Structure 1
Amino acid sequence: MLNQDIIREATRLTRSGQLVEATALLQRMLRGEKAPDPATPTTRRPALAAGREPPTIDAQANAETKRPRRAAQPAVDIAKNLDRLGLGGALRRVPPSMADIVPDCARFVEGVYANAAGSRAYRLFIPSGYHGQPIPLVIMLHGCTQSPEDFAAGTRMNFIAEEQTCLVAYPAQRAEANQAKCWNWFRPADQQRGRGEPSLIAGITRQIVRDHSVDPERVYIAGLSAGAAAAAVMGSTYGDLYAAIGIHSGLACGAASDLPSALMAMKQGGGPEAAPSDGPPVPTIVFHGDRDTTVHSKNGDRIIRQSIGRSRTKAKVHRGRVPGGHAYTRTVHTDAAGHGILEHWEIHGAGHAWSGGSPAGSYTDPDGPDATREMLRFFLEHSLQRRRN
């Protein structure tokens, strides 16, 4: 089968509810293996019943998942799929201790937000230096199989935010929405303002702004993997709410619209290019390992191209190495006034993990440059007011 025929067959399988077969077919194609003849008899799975939640893709583990169902044959075991791909460790990790999550004297409180699209719980870090004065807010979107606590421990964002006196919120994806707890970045209904998961994430943000003393000019959003792709969606759909975005090992908004296109974008960095924006870019900082085999590093380049749009920027390249760790290439794009508005950190030799993170959390690489510190530094250089001027 030619690649185009394989994609058509995978799309047909997806529409008929055969997500396991579609995923396997695309993975064989991406590995360069010969796909079976579509005329070969196969065991067919019944199409999804009307009103049923569709299967979802695990962007971090690159595995198809399905809601549990009562049937003669057992449902797909997501844990086994993750193990097969070498990414199942997060499912069995011992939860991090509070000492790995929250600095002394700070707080990590629970909250929940609901609207017509559903509800999501979240954890909110409140630094010890907060006494009612307006301070910045950072929204952190975890990757697949992660939790707010795991993500906070791995990134150590709360410890850096304690130094800078920032609030940090961690929305939690529900297993009912995605069995592997991935944000559904690839579904058209979850790529639009005022709908689906974007409306829930924006709602959490606004609820915190309303309930605490937040500087509305300095609200930011970041994520890892599926969370990074969701952060890119938020930057594209709620650019009036977030002053800057951070994307670690993620994909551009609109890179995919279904399972086959998601797998293609993840593995090859492909997908349709979004229409260039007429306005100024939303300040964006991107981190990506050049040996990431889950989300191809070409996706980082695409995010930068999409962010620049029709704007004119000048690029300056910096190269360095973490002592005893990874080398990196940092490209800074500046606007006509000389302000840095886009940064792209390509981390040489790094895989699909948070650069400079702590082993207390999952999917971290302590040998990389400190993505958390650099991301927060970049955020605090930007505000909505500065973008308007």
Structure 2
Amino acid sequence: MSIRVTLAIIAMAVLAITNPSHAGTLTSDTLAAGSQSGSRDRQYQVYVPDNLTTPAPMVMALHGCSQTQANVMNEWGLQAAADQYGFILVTPFITSYDGLRNQNCWGFWFDQHRHEGAGEPQDLVRIGQAIESQYSVDADRRYITGLSSGGAMAEVAAITHNEYWAAAASASGLPYGEDAGSVSLSGQCPGSATFHSVSRVASDIEQELNDSYPIPMMVLQSENDCTVVQPAGRNIRDAHLRVFGDSSHDTPITARQSESDCSPAYQNDYQCVHTVYGNGDGRSVVETVFFDGPINTANSTDTNHGHFWVGGVNGSEGPWAVRAGPSYPDIIWDFFNRHSRTGSVSNGQPTITVLGDNPLDLTLDQSFSDPGATATDPEDGNLSVNADCSSVDTSQAGDYTCQYTATDSDSNTVARTRTVRVTDPSAPTASCATEIASPSAHVTAGRAEKGGSFNLRALSLTDRQDIGASYDTWSSVTLHEGEPGTWYAAEPEACRTGGGNNGGGQPCEERYGSNLQHQNANRAYYQMGYFTVGGDDALGAISGGYNWVYEAAPGEYRVGQCP
């Protein structure tokens, strides 16, 4: 049956918003501070898809430093995943915090915030319990994930409250019990950090656990991350195997069950490898998603340290977020869906997979052939899909949609959409101009508009990103022009790929990785030592040696970073 959205006021009036781009309801609320040490008032948002089958899974997602719950909700592609897969999405905000830390960081390294019944992990459970008091949540399917400090806190939550959560996923996070020295704050690439030994991490986990449930963990990390550097992800993997693996499956070699390319991925999988480690009983102890990701991101506020969430086709180029790469929302949900606490299989709604590109780009008068979609259901197996692409008209430039629907034997119907973009090659191209001004000046010049509560925020004109307070006359914000009259907070893709009138040319791409990783990515070859492809620069004879390389010309790689 459909879930009823009954909103209980916990500490402040709830602001209910119907999101125009998603078929569901978004609400905001605040949980009052609890009695435990380190507890604070916590703001959070909840997204509930329409026609949700109950009891429903719950996924809690934690922002990283310098982010908020709105970044997670709007830019990580998780709302679309909630629509597709049928789960309640919860995004808490750190709101306020103690101790010396960067803006909005979860306090994974503070002792009072990494034990059961204390601080932030207990507040997260309390938020989960508040959600369960309002909505019909499946107690067998409570999940938590996060990025950076949020990924580290997801790991803390998994250890301190493994009696509550069913599984966890840490994206660019850190092992349990680590301190602030485990984060590279040098501002350099490659980064450098110090880590506790795997045996110490395993011992810290064992001392904290008070429930025998072997909570499954997924670890997602770019090998080129210069903020949370390897071996952070490998240490999470190895410590969990020592603690939760049986005597025959407690190392990466003995516990490895399978290895495959990461799927799905948007535009580029960056040589991503998905490895499953388990005890041979059909469930995973740990799964890793390691890939050779880019260093630079499109968002001008980022540090260009290869540290980000990959939102996939439904994500955006927000702060510390990219679209291209292994699609975190889909990969993480697949992992969660295979790991309920009891191993039961959900009899929820069908799942539709849109085949081919989405969005699908065509030029004017180009023939259109719908790549189609497939649908499956836990009870019914494969289902027929009804596709409606009747609105697509390639004789006129514009954005069109294909609608796909599928219905199971319980009359649960789900829908997915493909965007078909028809462009006119002779139309004006992106100017790629930039303007630096205060948020207030951008509003006055028509490059931004007022929005948010009481019009107190300035939103970039075209991509509607929050660039600051609408009354702010003192800050400096860069906006980018795409086609004349369109303005973006993130540099438009046409400008990043040389499609604008800015002189063209592909931006320099640089990669930091081992010699073997460079060889596997066709940036290097081996001949009595490793050398760059095209440039023939020597990298050394050791496969595990690390080097920077950059593409000096198409197919020509040189040692070093972009000039």
CA deviation profile, 1:128-160 (whole Å, cap 9, x unmatched): 1237x2100001100011111111222110111
Change (3 A) 1:176 1:198: closer
2:192 to 260, 267, 287: 267
2:63 to 142, 145, 148: 142
| Whole-angstrom CA distance in 2 between matches of 1:171 and 1:344 | 25
What does residue range 1-389 of structure 1 map to in structure 2 within 5 Å?
A: 103-114=21-32, 115-116=34-35, 117-130=39-52, 133-177=54-98, 180-256=103-179, 259-260=180-181, 267-268=192-193, 270-272=195-197, 273-274=200-201, 275=203, 277=206, 279=212, 281-310=214-243, 311=245, 312=249, 313-319=255-261, 322=265, 324-325=267-268, 326-350=270-294, 351-357=306-312, 358-386=315-343
- Please state which structure has a larger fraction of its residues in strand: 2
CA deviation profile, 1:304-341 (whole Å, cap 9, x unmatched): 11211241233322246857421111111132223334
| Whole-angstrom CA distance in 1 between matches of 2:192 and 2:134 | 41
| Whole-angstrom CA distance in 2 between matches of 1:102 and 1:175 | 30
| Whole-angstrom CA distance in 2 between matches of 1:191 and 1:288 | 22
| 8 Å contact kept, 1:102–1:159 | no
CA deviation profile, 1:105-138 (whole Å, cap 9, x unmatched): 311101221212221010001111237x210000
Matched residue SS, 2:192: helix
| 8 Å contact kept, 1:102–1:108 | no
Larger Rg computed on CA atoms:
2
| 8 Å contact kept, 1:285–1:344 | yes
| Whole-angstrom CA distance in 1 between matches of 2:48 and 2:308 | 26
| Whole-angstrom CA distance in 1 between matches of 2:321 and 2:184 | 23
Instruction: Tell me the residue number matched to 1:29.
Output: none
* Percent identity of paired positions between Structure 1 and Structure 2: 24
Runs of 4+ with >6 A deviation: none
| Whole-angstrom CA distance in 1 between matches of 2:150 and 2:181 | 19
CA deviation profile, 1:15-40 (whole Å, cap 9, x unmatched): xxxxxxxxxxxxxxxxxxxxxxxxxx
| 8 Å contact kept, 2:181–2:195 | no
The one-letter code matched in structure 2 to 1:230 is M
| Whole-angstrom CA distance in 2 between matches of 1:334 and 1:174 | 37
Instruction: Tell me the residue number matched to 1:59.
Output: none
| 8 Å contact kept, 1:248–1:286 | yes
The one-letter code matched in structure 2 to 1:374 is I
| Whole-angstrom CA distance in 1 between matches of 2:184 and 2:143 | 28
Change (3 A) 1:372 1:167: same
| 8 Å contact kept, 1:318–1:329 | yes
Q: Once structures 1 and 2 are overlaid, which stretch shifts more, 364-373 or 271-280?
A: 271-280
How many angstroms does 1:175 deviate by? 4.3
Matched residue SS, 1:201: helix
How many angstroms does 1:102 deviate by? 6.6
The one-letter code matched in structure 2 to 1:193 is E
Q: What is the root-mean-square deviation of aligned Cα atoms in Å? A: 2.6
Matched residue SS, 2:329: helix
| 8 Å contact kept, 1:226–1:250 | yes
The one-letter code matched in structure 1 to 2:321 is T
| Whole-angstrom CA distance in 2 between matches of 1:263 and 1:147 | 21
Matched residue SS, 1:168: strand
| 8 Å contact kept, 1:290–1:349 | yes
| Whole-angstrom CA distance in 2 between matches of 1:126 and 1:260 | 38
| Whole-angstrom CA distance in 2 between matches of 1:139 and 1:323 | 23
Change (3 A) 1:324 1:215: closer
The one-letter code matched in structure 2 to 1:108 is L
| 8 Å contact kept, 1:269–1:297 | no
The one-letter code matched in structure 2 to 1:120 is R
Change (3 A) 1:175 1:119: closer
The one-letter code matched in structure 2 to 1:355 is V
Change (3 A) 1:346 1:260: closer
The one-letter code matched in structure 2 to 1:107 is T
| Whole-angstrom CA distance in 1 between matches of 2:224 and 2:20 | 31
| 8 Å contact kept, 2:22–2:83 | no
| 8 Å contact kept, 1:129–1:162 | no
| Whole-angstrom CA distance in 2 between matches of 1:382 and 1:349 | 27
How many angstroms does 1:375 deviate by? 0.3
Matched residue SS, 1:208: helix
| 8 Å contact kept, 2:61–2:145 | yes
Could you tell me the TM-score, scaled by structure 2's length?
Answer: 0.48
| Whole-angstrom CA distance in 1 between matches of 2:193 and 2:102 | 25
Change (3 A) 1:168 1:334: same
| Whole-angstrom CA distance in 2 between matches of 1:319 and 1:179 | 35
Q: Which runs of 5+ in 2 are unaligned?
A: 1-16, 186-190, 250-254, 295-305, 345-563
- Please state which structure has a larger fraction of its residues in helix: 1
| 8 Å contact kept, 2:218–2:332 | yes
| 8 Å contact kept, 1:281–1:309 | no
| Whole-angstrom CA distance in 1 between matches of 2:266 and 2:89 | 29
Change (3 A) 1:337 1:215: same
